Structure 1
């Protein structure tokens, strides 16, 4: 089919629009770019003079384009870093290489009160002949985005830097370090007194206007020194924002602070007066709250070094940051409280005061660990025994914090109870070893947490010193041997079998007996000191030199040893030291008689005791002493076995001891009216301050102690 011929004078219709001329399109696009684009556009010639700018750039700068054109930036916008901007434009013009995403900070007449951040991209304008005609800058105001990015970065920094320790003051200081210079020229963190001490803050504390300054940070040292001179405790005026925030728990923003403000003008607060001298012009007061309890207040200040005043957005951000820090402060407070309670309880179980005895001069040192709540399982004890003797005990429990305290309470109570039975050191440890599994079994039976399982593997050293014989008998359950320093300054470690720890089922604890010269120093210590001594040979030699100084008191030696060891201890280790300097009772204070196993000898025994009391100036105790001697010797002759021995010891009390080779255990009872006997031990108990029985390999000893004052019952007096 053919194509019809075109009719003369007739044109075919078409829907396609007429093709525009390319130059018209270029001009339209260029015009739209300069008139409609929200992005600032600036064109500079080769002399870096502004030759064209769009309205968006005019709004950013706040200067009419008519005043900008033909000028360099520095001539009309002095608030910008012109050197940096023109340096970048010159490099682009010279190299022809575009620069994308450069940020600049500065101020313009459009908003002269605060800094803005602009992101610029620059490219060179090149003619068809290759000549550089100028350079073009595309400018975007990214202030809000930049500020959001900075604040997110500051929050990340705060998360990493705040709460690295469980110390209240250190945590508060970490908060101040983040706030300055990130948000303020000066920050101070004030807490309620109870919070600093680890106590629970109560809602009633919020009404107090007294705070303790625990942390501060300033951009220049002069301001920090001003706060240091002001002192920690501050009383704020009732109408001040500090006191108001304490009362209602609401933050306060004061964008303008100066002498003309009423509460400042009438304030006697030395901190506020000191800050005004440094040009403080803006302030925020933000409460530190955790679990709806006010812990303290954070103060933020801006001085003349930062002319920008705080804004509401700043307050919202600081509230978020301070709220996170308040949780860390509260955790530190709770840890401080728990640690203080554990340490106090543990120290209450240690010999805080020297018991009433004269066998040894005692000193003790305790340094709690820092890596957990409370001390570790170090403990020590001093227990007076019969016959003027004394027991020294020290041990380690593989537990920390409250668990350690619970275990120490159990084992210390057991040791003191067993000590009153006058058992030998190896028997004491054997009874402890038998007790540990029973305690753990009882714990499981009760269905509670197996805290006492930490007792298994505990170590213990138990020693008994007799000032009459100057003999010391000791036994160890895998505890380090004591250090012995004689009066001449010779130091050695006691040759003591270590045996097994407690609770492992080995009931044999081999003892060792040594003789100590009067004035010898005995040092009992824990596993932590042993580890530090092994790790540092120089420390070992230093400690030996300190212990050898017999001219120093045990307390001075203990203090010096603790100070020397403390820097070498691991964070999880505590330190317990027990030092004892031996004394002796000479023949002038001890009288001993071997007695025949004959009832007729009882009368002569009373006479021996009476004459010795006259020599000691204790005639007022003759009646009760004769009665005690008579009853004890009679019982030994009647129920015991020879040899029989009577011993009187003049110490802080008058001690009467009767020994025999028998093992029959005496029992006190109340005799009936018609009974002919059975009143002997009852009379001994009535006439004495304390009495008891102890056993050894040779038999038994019944002893009675009397106060050196006349303490006999009236019915017993002649």
Structure 2
């Protein structure tokens, strides 16, 4: 071991000390100190630093054995400083770390190049757990330059590195939360929001993850909360994995650990996931690294892949929506308390967005349901007409705007065709459209003439436009102008008679219908234009047009032909050209018109209603005039029987005879003039009895002692529908019967008669 000089071994140093015995000067002041040599100062400095430094200092000889350590180094390893003399690194460090330090000492000793900030891990009896030291090594030389050993400086950096690691974790957490705030919640779709959560979490926070939502929530039920024990059905809506063995390895129901994305499953009552759903608290599942024990698949962990799992309930507005699994694979650091808090925060942010998406989906579906109810079915049927229709809302967010069309069955195999356009767009216009459409249907069922229907509808629209009806004063002041504009509308109303093949049309400020007759060019019908609904002041006119079989009638709204890019006349001409070249089946003709015209501009709603005429053939109509005599009742029965047998409808003979007798008898008793009997065969059988009386029949419930008054009640019981309507020369009473389909049973006449008593 080298013989390093000590301060007490140097005479020059003793001579320079105040207590060296030198005489004092008068006045109590010592004599000026003698000149001290530089080596003495160097040695004194070394001793002061070595003994008082807060860092661990040690000296090793050429054999790499310690021959001196300071007190701080000795305290770290729990032995007196003198006990370290002659010891090697293997005596106080783990084998691997000792080998590293020994190799570094040898390198410095041989090369002379210092080693700086070498990280060494060891243990200390003073502190619990592993400690990390930063060691720097320097080669020592004597005064002649000969290598005599290595000096080392060891600093405990455990706390500093822990703080740095905590700071790094904090930065990572903040970065994840910042990314979550930027990426999660950009969509109001449940599945998209769930995937956004996993895109943030994998692989920065965990190695694999999955999101399960209650099935009722995904399907849009009103109450998404499952059973209180957490074992309700859930749907896996998203999964992500950065390791082999993807999120489907995160198990679900009993007996089957594999759950694919989109699958419906449930968690057993005793599983960790079910407990998280019940309690709303984060649950943790861990497997000792390298151990043989595997977590239960029902706990949501994949035993072959996962080391640690956090099962986090997704809670939005105090409602449990589902559960999220965050898992780290074997070889990764297990989840800690900080990770639990971060997982809960990420899930909470996603839960708010998913709950918003749930509420939006519910309200959106309600709005769409309401809007869809404002339009007729997609494939309306009509007697003597083939119908095709298209509707394109101007606003992609809504399925219905201010445009509407309707197909209304009227008595006598007649059909009302309606197309209208409320000024304005969006939901407000859709609400106004719904009110007007309902009014149109009500007026149509009264069997008024088209011009009279529009007149009554104009009165209704003006009433709806008046903000003073049923509104508060504040609402009147705020919405007066808006309401007056919303309830201005245009409308064309046409009634087609399948027997006469005539269509009666009235117009309220709408674009004229287009007619295409076989072998001819498409033409605009010359229909009086009229004023829009809600304006008032002018009567509406109507025109009659006879259409041959195969003729095409097109009703439409201005969104089909009007655009800011061209004049209205150009759009109308393009519509005529498209219809002229549409010698196609009706549905294909509809698509052809929409393809030829610019309907994707999004400037306005588009409604198109096309009808191809196929009138009732002559042999499908029976029409007779009977004198106002008692014998006419029997004659009417005979005519009806003969015609039904000719049509092959023997099953309806008895019912028809009975009901025809009732209606003809009523016409004789309460009507005037000749009686007209008409039978019409199309999708149903219609029977009409005409007379010149103006008094409308009214069904009443007869008392047990009454001898009459049950005729119309019997008609109501045995027919599909019945009614009466005014005509220019009196009234018509009618009933309708379903045609036999070989499955439904004909009504029992005896039972119907007995039910009236």
The TM-score range, normalised by the shorter chain, is: 0.5 to 0.7
Shift of 1:250: 1.1
Task: Please give the alpha-carbon distance, in whole angstroms, between the structure 2 residues aligned to 1:567 and 1:69.
Answer: 80
Residues 208 and 240 of structure 2 are in contact (CA less than 8 Å); yes or no, is this contact kept in structure 1?
A: yes
Kept in 1: contact 2:671–2:691 (CA 8 A): yes
Local SS of the residue matching 1:204: coil
Give the TM-score normalised by structure 2: 0.62
Q: Tell me the residue number matched to 1:312.
A: 337
* Equivalent-residue separation in structure 1 for 2:564 and 2:259 (angstroms): 41
Answer yes or no: is 1:208 the counterpart of 2:234: no
Question: Which residue of the other structure, out of 343, 360, 372, is the alignment partner of 2:368?
Answer: 343
Contact between 1:379 and 1:408, CA under 8 Å: does it hold in 2?
yes
Distance 1:213 1:557 in 2: 44
Q: Is residue 2:582 matched to residue 1:548?
A: yes
Instruction: Single out whichever of 292-301 and 561-570 deviates more from structure 2.
Output: 561-570
Structure 1 residues 260 and 153, CA, compared in 2 at 3 Å: closer, same or farther? Answer: closer
CA distance in 2, matches of 1:359, 1:249: 63
Secondary structure at 2:314 match in 1? strand
Aligned-pair CA distance for 1:385 = 0.8
Alignment-derived partner of residue 309 in structure 2: 283
Which one of the candidate residues 242, 261, 265 is aligned to 1:219? Answer: 242
The question of whether the paired residues in 2 share the 8 Å contact of 1:521 and 1:550 is answered with no
* CA displacement at 1:180 relative to structure 2: 1.8
Deviation (angstroms), 1:341:
2.2
Distance 1:694 1:221 in 2: 79
Equivalent residues of 1:190, 1:297 under 8 A apart: yes
Deviation of residue 288 (structure 1)? 0.7
Would you say 1:251 and 2:282 are equivalent positions?
A: yes
Change (3 A) 1:263 1:161: same
1:527, 1:228 → 2: CA distance?
52
Instruction: Check the 8 A contact 1:351/1:364 in 2, yes or no.
Output: no
Task: Name 2:10's counterpart in structure 1.
Answer: none
Gaps of 5+ in 2: 1-24, 30-35, 57-71, 78-92, 109-114, 124-154, 250-257, 646-652, 701-706, 738-745
The structure with the largest alpha-carbon Rg is: 2
Matched, 1:656 2:688: yes
Question: CA shift at 1:173, angstroms?
Answer: 1.7
Quote the residue 2:195 is aligned against.
173
Alignment check: 8 A CA contact 1:463 1:472 kept: yes
Farther off after superposition, 518-527 or 153-162: 518-527
Q: What's the offset of the Cα at 1:576? A: 6.6
Aligned twin of 1:97: none
Return the offset for 1:326.
0.7
Query: What secondary structure is seen at the aligned counterpart in 1 of 2:295?
Result: helix
How far residue 324 of structure 1 moved from its aligned partner, in angstroms, is: 1.4
Matched, 1:692 2:718: no
| CA drift at 1:429 | 3.0
CA gap of 1:499–1:109, structure 2 versus 1, over 3 A, is: farther
- In 2, Cα distance between equivalents of 1:235 and 1:370: 40
Deviations 1:286-341 (A, max 9, x none): 1110111100011112225x722222101101211211111111111111111222
Report 1 or 2 for greater relative contact order, CA contacts < 8 Å, sequence distance ≥ 6: 1
Distance, in Å, in 1 between the alignment partners of 2:414 and 2:471 is 38
CA distance in 2, matches of 1:228, 1:561: 48
CA-to-aligned-CA distance 1:560-614 (integer Å, 9 cap, x gap): 99999999485x998876554433112223355789xxxx776897798567535
SS of residue paired to 1:666? coil
Indicate how the Cα distance of structure 1 residues 152 and 21 shifts in structure 2: closer, same or farther if over 3 A, else same: farther
| Residue aligning to 1:3 | none
**8 Å CA contact 2:454, 2:540 repeated in 1:** yes
Correspondent of 2:205 among 176, 183, 195: 183
**Partner SS for 2:549:** coil
Aligned: 1:471 with 2:502: yes
> For residue 412 of structure 1, what is the aligned residue in structure 2?
437
**Which residue of structure 2 aligns with residue 162 of structure 1?**
184
Deviation of the 1:150 alpha carbon: 2.9
Question: CA 1:283/1:534 → structure 2, altered by over 3 Å: closer, same or farther?
Answer: farther
Q: Does structure 2 conserve the Cα–Cα contact (< 8 Å) formed by 1:522 and 1:580? A: yes
**1:50 match:** none
Decide whether aligned partners of structure 1 residues 624 and 321 sit closer, same or farther in structure 2, where only a CA change above 3 A counts. closer
Compute the displacement of 1:653 (Å): 3.1
Contact 1:532-1:568 at 8 Å conserved across structures: no
CA contact (8 A) 2:236 2:263 kept: yes
In the alignment, structure 1 segments of 5+ residues that lack a partner are 1-8, 14-19, 39-53, 74-85, 90-105, 112-137, 672-678
Q: CA deviation at 1:212?
A: 0.5
Change (3 A) 1:656 1:433: same
CA distance in 2, matches of 1:649, 1:177: 66
Contact 1:668 1:681 in 2 (8 A): no
1:702 partnered with 2:757:
no
Asked if 1 retains the 8 angstrom alpha-carbon contact of 2:582 and 2:592, the reply is no
1:384 deviates by 1.1
1:492 and 1:396 map into 2 onto residues whose CA distance is 22
